[in-house]
Amino acid sequence: MKKLQGMKSSFSSLENKKLRNLQAIKGGSASNRNSPSHYTTPQGDVHDTDFYTDDVAGDWKYKGRTKLFVGEVTPING
Amino acid sequence: MNGQNIIIKSLLFLYFFLSISSCQKKSINYILYYQKVNEIDSIYRLANNPKLAAEEYKKFFEAGEYEPKNQERINEYETYITLADRYNIDFGGKESLKKLILLDAQHGGNCKKYFPLFKKYGVDSLYVKDQIANWKKSLNQTLIDSFTIAMKRDPLGRPFDSAVSMPNVRKNAKLLIWTFNKYGYPTPQKMGTTGHDNTFFAMPTFLTHMVEAKEYPFIKSKLYEYIKSGDCLPRDYALMVDVDAFLYDKEGLYRFAPGVSTDSAKINRNRKSIGLPSLKHTAALRRDFFKTIDQ
């Protein structure tokens, strides 16, 4: 029992060490925002979403736009 | 003799008049700036010759024809200074670093990533903080107030409730045109990138929504002028124009909307005409950008 408790504490300290480096988690240090749009056309509805990210807080960068048109998602060359 | 003098004087006057008017004609066209930067960036990123790129950047920026920018993804001024430092090329020291501080601040950055470089050239963190604080004081508060409101109302009702979003598009189009007339294009130099309550000025999305406004043709032509003056980013303009093309079945010009044109050579020509990098170059920039943010 004593041995088991010891193992548990070493596991959690290992986890804490890992969590301290947020860069190790993909996208862990950056936040993301998205902006959806919707347009009606004679051929059907078009949905756009713009994505922004900041890896330095407040330094927002445009990440990309996806377009959903009649059920198909397409990333854009931006 | 007197007559000759008069002729010489009038010829001299004509010469000066012509040289002044020809100077005025040669107004700044930032499309040429963007094209040159794309050319140099491709030496660095595609041809993988960073030293030559640094030398070319030095020639270009030292000519002083254009105030440098530091566009997202290309980061031309940052790249120039970093490479110049690496190859011991004189980039102008503190004066150039001051430009870099302001360019980074305009994008919402705090310059922390440059601190090792700054230290090397005798720029301390207090100086950086002062520069950023002074620049923030110079911002146009009216624009910050107005665009905070505009950016907050822009996503309301989206994506489905056009009864809410359409009146806001009309208000925002009106605000944009009012801004053009009173202050010119609302650049990050004038109002930063975030307003009150940490509201981010999402210009690509904001401008694209202008395709729904009845003033769109006017806004589009004004924005083209603002690309030339170096105020509006070609990318933001292209995102807007291609959405309009996609919605109304016109031919897409820059391939910022899918399936509209397969002619890559033509797309590349169109891209170049407003200062955007080619498709191949854009793909390399995307790759490097996502490598950085996914680190």
Q: How many helices (H) and strands (E) does chain B have?
A: 15, 0
Residue, of B217 and A38, whose pLDDT is higher: B217
Instruction: Read off the pLDDT band of B80 (50, 70, 90).
Output: very high
Which own/partner contact pairs does B167-170 have at CB distance under 8 Å and 24+ positions apart?
Answer: B169/B209, B169/B210, B169/B212, B169/B213, B170/B213
Question: Is the confidence at residue B93, as pLDDT, over 90?
Answer: yes
The pair of structure tokens assigned to A71 is 């059920």
Residue B205 to residue A37, Cβ atoms within 8 A: yes
pTM reported for the whole predicted model: 0.83
Cα B126 from Cα B146, distance rounded (Å): 31
Instruction: Read off the pLDDT band of A66 (50, 70, 90).
Output: confident
Cα B159 from Cα B89, distance rounded (Å): 51
Residue B205 to residue A50, Cβ atoms within 8 A: yes
Range of the domain at A19: 2-75
Residue B282 to residue A78, Cβ atoms within 8 A: yes
Q: Which residues of A touch chain B, with CB atoms under 8 Å apart?
A: 23, 26-27, 30, 33, 35-41, 46-48, 50, 52-56, 58-63, 65, 67, 69, 74, 76-78
Interface test with B, best of A23, A29, A31, A59 (most B CBs within 10 A): A59
Contact A36, A48 (CB under 8 A): yes
Q: Which residues of A touch B283 (CB under 8 A)?
A: 77
Residue A56 to residue B108, Cβ atoms within 8 A: yes
- Backbone φ, ψ for residue B57 (5° rounding): -60, -45
Asked if this assembly's ipTM is beyond 0.85, the reply is no
Residue B282 to residue A39, Cβ atoms within 8 A: no
Q: How far is B234 from chain A (nearest CA, A)?
A: 11
Residue A39 to residue B247, Cβ atoms within 8 A: yes
Q: How far is B177 from chain A (nearest CA, A)?
A: 22
| pLDDT value at residue A15 | 44
Other beta carbons less than 10 A from residue B65's beta carbon: 12
The pair of structure tokens assigned to B259 is 């399936």
Secondary structure (H, E, C), B57-81:
HHHHHHCCCCCCCCCCCCCHHHHHH
Question: Comparing C-alpha atoms, which of B254, B253, B157, B166 is closest to residue B209?
Answer: B166
Domain count, chain A: 1
What residue has token string 């955007």? B276
Q: What is the share, in percent, of chain B residues with pLDDT greater than 70?
A: 89
* A19-28, B1-10, B12-21, B154-163: least confident range: A19-28
